[in-house]
Amino acid sequence: MDNLGERLMQQASQADGAMPKSDGFSVPQGYFEGLGERLRKKVFPQQTKVIQLNPKRSYWSVAAAAAVVIALASTIYLGNRTDAIDFDGLAVSDMENYMVNEVELSTEELAQMHPIDEAEFQTLLSGLIEENQITSYLDATIEDIEELNYGYEE
């Protein structure tokens, strides 16, 4: 093992392929074959095949039953409804996704919509920011985490 460094350098200089050298790691059998399908289901869930449960049932009877249910439900719901639709029922992540994917406003544009002189500074100053919120923010916004360590290490 005395000349390991030399051997490592020698092997490194001879390396020319994209395939990894042996490092002792292995993967479960069939892992790579199944990966594409698992990812497809996560990224495109709407394309998952739907199997019809009872294809022989008449569409007309189903449509009629559905119409009756909707009519009754609407009457009862609208009759009893006291609360108006508001933002409280929306998940923050849904609103964020909508803003990012549908509205396509950059963070700068969003900031312009809320001028800084309207910000409630006391709320900002008195509210404690959780460590995990900071981590999540840095994870989402900092491209090179190394930048934060500049001048710290070596």
Partner 1 sequence: MTTEENLVVALQSPKDQAAAFQELVDTYKERLYWHIRRIVLNHDDTDDVLQNTFIKVYRNIANFKGESKLYSWMYRIATNEALNFIKEKSRKLGVTDNEYLDEKVEQLESDVYFDGDEIQLKLQQALASLPEKQRLVFNMKYFDAMKYEDISEVLGTSVGGLKASYHLATKKIEAFIKGD
Burial label, 99 (beta-carbon count in 10 A; 0-12, 13-18, 19+): middle
Q: Which stretch binds partner 1 (CB under 8 A): 49-57, 86-94, 108-116, 131-139?
A: 131-139
Q: Residue 60 carries which side chain, given as an amino acid letter?
A: W
In the window 20-39, what residues touch partner 1 (CB under 8 A)? 20-28, 31-32, 35-36, 38-39
Longest dimension (CA), the chain: 85
Task: Give me the least distance between CB of 132 and partner 1, in Å please.
Answer: 9
Q: CB–CB of 24/30 below 8 Å?
A: no
Tokens 């990224």 belong to residue: 43
Q: Does 60 bind partner 1 (CB under 8 A)?
A: no
Structure tokens at 67: 């119409």
Interface residues with partner 1 (CB under 8 A)? 1-2, 4-5, 8-9, 11-12, 15-18, 20-28, 31-32, 35-36, 38-40, 42-44, 47, 131, 135, 139, 143-146, 153-154
